Structure 1
Amino acid sequence: MNEKEIAEIRRRFRPDKSNITHVRGCYVNDKREIVSEFDQSLALMPQEEGEKILTTLKRTLSGTLGKNLVGLAFATEQVVDGEEHKLLMALRGSSLKEDDAVRAFYQRVIDAVNLEGPYLILLAHDTYDVPFRSKDGETLDDASSEIYSYILCSVCPVKMTKPALCYYVPENSFHSLRPDWLVSPPELGFLFPAFDDRSTNIYNALYYTRNLTENHPEFIEAVFRLEAPVPAAEQKEAFQSILSETLAEECHYDVLQTVHEQFREMIEEHKANKEPEPLVVSKDTVKSVLEHSGVSGEHVAAFDRKYDAEFGADTCLSPRNLVDDRQFEVRTPDVTIRVNPERSDLIETRILNGARYILIRADEGVEVNGIDIRITGEA
């Protein structure tokens, strides 16, 4: 799924757009026991509560594609005869009305998920009469291309609030607010089947994780019988380690500045062009950037080998997972310098009188603890 397709489904989670009539789920305590199950009608609850439930579910489709949201692909054998795929299809096909399938799914999740404290498993089913979209991009609401039927799962931690003092305006008095259990935003979840090319794709699912450092591989294994993709934070850490190890003495400031700048420009261009497909770079693209930065053939070859060992020769990565396009940071054990990523050229490194220095050009507007200072010295 691309960003436009995700956004199209996200817009479904409004009372006037959605065909979600009820939400099923269960409350799991910290001992991994189901305390209660519920099948709640959105039509019978107050509008405000129904909107909050839809908002909670919609957060499972939030975040950055490639970081929080990643596509999972089933093998053909799984789709034909896989128990895990059959269960997901049973949930979808019955519109979550098949109790045995729902409870079997609950148990799979409970056996795999190890969150701190209690949590909710939420399940919703929706049918979307997909409007026809012409080649020029115009959407015709009265002309449908197909009906997209899907399920959405959200796993939400439930946390105890702290006691607080509240002021009640009608009574003109203060009261103590007792601690209570509060449903937090989803920690993980998924959409099945995928909405690829604005059409149903039972071979794919869209997986969500809130934490970029933890994608809950045990959940992916239990529900999809697939190997979890490397978390975005781990990709970044591995990429940085590869550069540091393979470039060795050629790992200069100018080289890393160029890599960051090239990736940042790719991200900006991709965003400006409103490209629907996720932005990725290949190993050869990174090698080309290193070569143009003056890195020797020997170290580029070392990068090539290390990349293959870590990610695989044909693996493409998202630049958003490798650099922070909104920040450029230089750090020493005692000093951290954060620079506008568009002005990383203001920094340079030098050796003066045998000592290493980081130099920052400062033409005007220099402050120390909020006070303007003058920089004086020899012209």
Structure 2
Amino acid sequence: MNITKGDVQELRRRLKKTECTFGRLCGCYVNSGKQIVTKFTEQFSELEEDEYYKYLEIAKKTFSGTLGANLLELEFDRSDSGIEHQKYLLTLKDSKLANEELLDRLYEQVIEEYSYPGNYLIVVYHDVYDVPSKATSGEDQDESTELYAYCVCAVCPVELAKPALGYKEDENRIGARERDWVVGLPDLGFVYPAFANRGSDVNAVMYYVKTGRPSHPEFIENVLGCVAQRTAAEDKLAFKNVVHDAFGEDEEQADAAFFQMQKTISAMVAEREEDESLPPVELTAEAVSGLATEAEVPDEVRAQIEKSYEQVFGDQPPQAHNVLDSRLVEEGTVKAHTAALEQKVAVLQQELAHQAANATDTDEDDVPWETGTVIDVRMPQERAVNVHTEVVEGQKCLVIPLTGDESARINGVEVE
């Protein structure tokens, strides 16, 4: 991967009114029947203030997310089709969105490949970033290293506003508000050329997918001409299915094995996070087989996991953090800790019950005083029969006969 977190942040930081240099803004509104309702072209700097910030927010969202998770670096397919798509995107970028035919081609391709049942907006931006050079201290210098010209495309669902009450000024009353169509934040989008190592990479596309949404492989392949990739959410689900399917209908064992494998993956990822010099862990089929062995998975099931994993992921094994289900590990660890505590409490309760059952209960008749402090004396039953109360010098006493050389201790202190 050539795009770095710093590259993404550098572009994203510029998306504010004081630094944004977007030139032309184009787009079209598509209805649920896949028909273009309207098209528009604007100079970004001439937009009304409210519109300016809304369109800026849409563009900024296309640069958000986590690299390798929902922000993917795509490479062009080296087939004739992939090369043709790359040439088209370069031509579109070089036209600065002034060629209507090139824009229409993009709209048509998006409409053909984007699977969405409702209305949506396609927005395309053009920008030229005068990339400043970096001083040895890391601060920006005035001198430019290159001009980075690029296009941003965002596809945004448009939904009907929810019913609500509002103040109707012309009628001076509270009534139902008129519902209108509202443009949401992007479902997907892309930046071409990619900004990698603070420069233009015409051989790559930075592709954005809303977190939790599918990657739309048909869009990647047929609109961009790139090799499809999974998002982290798709990697995670595919990995889980591989493990569970190998166990067949034994869901309990599948859940237990999957949890143990996730715990090991969590430790591997944590180690890399502590030491940034270590490269990310790539989960090959062989590595997953090792995880299964460590989780004490039966050999035949482990072999099936390795085989299925190889078929699903092929020569593009995911990184460990992409298949890690942190919530599952956390919840499972808490449950295991709670269960261990409950087991300890149960054992203690059994011990207390056992001690109570074996203890000699003090009979009310054996209590030497009717009220006040109770002195509890324990001894074998054959000796207890000789214990009695007696008044000595006007004081009621408990008398325990001693024979031979016997002695007595109270609270560990010998009685003379």
- Contact kept, 8 Å, 1:247 with 1:295, in 2: the verdict is no
CA RMSD across the alignment: 3.5
**Cα distance between partner residues in 1 of 2:265 and 2:349:** 38
1:183-194 matches, cutoff 5 A: 183-194=183-194
Instruction: Report what 2:39 is aligned to.
Output: 37
Q: CA deviation at 1:295?
A: 4.2
- What residue is the counterpart of 1:210 in the other structure? 210
TM-score of the two chains, using structure 2 as the length reference? 0.72
Partner amino acid for 1:19?
T
Mapped to 1, the partners of 2:196 and 2:300 lie a distance apart of: 42
Provide the rounded CA distance (Å) in 1 between the counterparts of 2:158 and 2:280: 33
Distance 1:252 1:111 in 2: 40
Larger Cα-atom Rg: 2
Relative to structure 1, the CA distance from residue 243 to residue 281 in structure 2 (aligned partners, 3 Å threshold; closer, same or farther) is same
Q: Distance in 1 between matches of 2:194 and 2:96?
A: 16
Residues 176/303 of structure 1: CA separation in 2 closer, same or farther (3 Å cut): closer
Secondary structure of 2:45's counterpart equals coil
**Offset at 1:180?**
0.7
Contact 2:92–2:103 (CA under 8 A) maintained in structure 1:
yes
Deviation of 1:76 (Å): 4.5
Task: Show the counterpart of 1:317.
Answer: 318
Q: Which residue of 2 aligns with 1:162?
A: 162
1:8 CA displacement: 2.0
- Equivalent residue, structure 1, for 2:363: none
Q: What CA distance in whole angstroms lies between the structure 2 residues aligned with 1:108 and 1:376?
A: 69
Report the Cα offset of residue 156 of structure 1.
0.7
Q: How many percent of aligned residue pairs carry the same amino acid?
A: 30
Alignment of 1:1-379 (within 5 A): 1-76=3-78, 82-133=83-134, 138-167=138-167, 174-210=174-210, 212-246=212-246, 251=253, 255-273=257-275, 280-295=282-297, 299-312=301-314, 314-328=315-329, 339-340=330-331, 343=334, 345-346=336-337, 359=339, 361-362=341-342, 377-379=349-351
Match of 1:354 in 2: none
CA offsets 1:98-146 (integer angstroms, 9 cap, x no match): 2221111111112222312211110001122223335x66132323322
Are residues 225 and 168 of structure 1, via their aligned partners in 2, closer, same or farther at CA, if it must alter by over 3 Å?
same
**Structure 1 residues 327 and 255, CA gap change in structure 2 (3 angstroms):** closer
Q: CA–CA distance in 1 between the matches of 2:190 and 2:156?
A: 12
Consecutive unaligned residues in structure 2, runs of 5 or more: 352-416
Secondary structure of 1:115 counterpart: coil
TM-score scaled by length of structure 1: 0.78
Aligned residue number for residue 356 of structure 1: none
Query: What is the DSSP-based 3-state SS (H/G/I as helix, E as strand, rest coil) of the residue aligned with 1:361?
Result: helix
The alpha-carbon deviation at position 168 of structure 1 amounts to: 8.2
Whether the aligned pair in 1 keeps the contact of 2:259 and 2:328 (CA below 8 Å) is no
Higher strand residue share = 1
Q: What is the aligned residue count?
A: 346
Amino acid paired to 1:36: T
Contact 2:93 2:149 in 1 (8 A): yes
